[in-house]
Each structure stands twice: as structure tokens, then as C-alpha cells.
Structure 1
Amino acid sequence: MKHESTPGTNEDAPTTDPTCAMCPHPWSEHDALGRRFCTATQVGVWSRGCICTPPTRR
């Protein structure tokens, strides 16, 4: 069975919050739509802009 990893992750890298391979945002900042969009972008080998929502100000 093939192991599927999160887009933009390097399983050898010692990081807890990988950056997405398709946009400059950490994977944890993606909402459900952003995860689907970036995953589809990577799988489809497309070049398109980012749809991530800006992080909320605290």
C-alpha cells in the first residue's frame, strides 16, 4: 500500500508545520477549501494562484 503524504511535506525534515508546496503558507493555516485547492493543484500539475484566507489577527 502506498503511503500518501501531505503536499509540501518532506518526511525526513524535522518540522512540525510544513509549508505547502503550492503556496507560501504553512499547511496548518489552510482551511478545508484551501487544502482541497492546493492538493488538486499539485496532483493536476497546474499553475494557479493562492486562495488561502489571510490568518486572523489576534
Structure 2
Amino acid sequence: MKTDELFIKGLMQHQNRNNKEEFIEMLLFYFDEEIKNMSKYIKMPREDAIQSIKTDFIEYISENW
């Protein structure tokens, strides 16, 4: 099964919003490469940039859940 298909399947499974933490973990896994690529453009150590992006992402999802 393709990654995109797994992502869509996961979204549909979590549509009822019962397990927020699992849903966020799935999103972070899906966007991991994009997060790593974006971290190159932030002027701070790479690991700090990655953590900052993930933290902001989690915060955004939590606020808009």
C-alpha cells in the first residue's frame, strides 16, 4: 500500500476523533521528510529547527482539533 493511501486510510479511521495522540503521531510520521527539508531554512541547529516545527505543528493541530 502506498504512503498516501495509508495516510488517507488513517485520516478516515481517526475521523471520529477518539485518539488525538495517535492521529498526531501519524501526521508527524507522514510529514517527517517535509519537516526535515523545511528545517534547512531555519537559522538554528537542525535538530532544534525540526523540534520547533514539530512543536508548532502539534500546537496548531491541537488548537484546531
Q: State TM-score, norm by structure 1.
A: 0.34
The structure with the greater share of residues assigned to helix is: 2
TM-score where L is the length of structure 2: 0.32
